[in-house]
Amino acid sequence: MEKKIFSVPNISCGHCVMSIKNELSEMEGVSKVEVNPQDKIVTVEWEGLASLEKITEKLKEINYLTE
């Protein structure tokens, strides 16, 4: 099991939280997604077919990560 905390400055509301949770949770291998809108962080746990690169790309694709 791997875990990464992302700084996501584009989180501004409950819709953002749900969008991130829904998109990342649908990825095969992602087991846990936690979003803290106050601190603007997303914590993701995964294994197997998911990877840091795939998760990062998904966050970029849905416009919540720009780095």
Tokens of 42: 């997303």
pLDDT of residue 66: 77
pLDDT of residue 67: 64
Tell me: pLDDT of 59 over 90: yes
Range of the domain at 13: 2-61
pLDDT of residue 62: 95
Is 22 among the domain residues? yes
Cross-strand partners of 33 = 44
pLDDT in tens, 27-54: 999 999 999 999 999 999 999 999 999 9
Is 30 among the domain residues? yes
Alpha carbon of 66 to those of 28, 31, 43, 44, 57: distances in Å?
23, 24, 17, 17, 10
Average pLDDT over residues 13-26: 95
The total number of structural domains that make up the chain: 1
Q: What is the DSSP letter of 45?
A: E
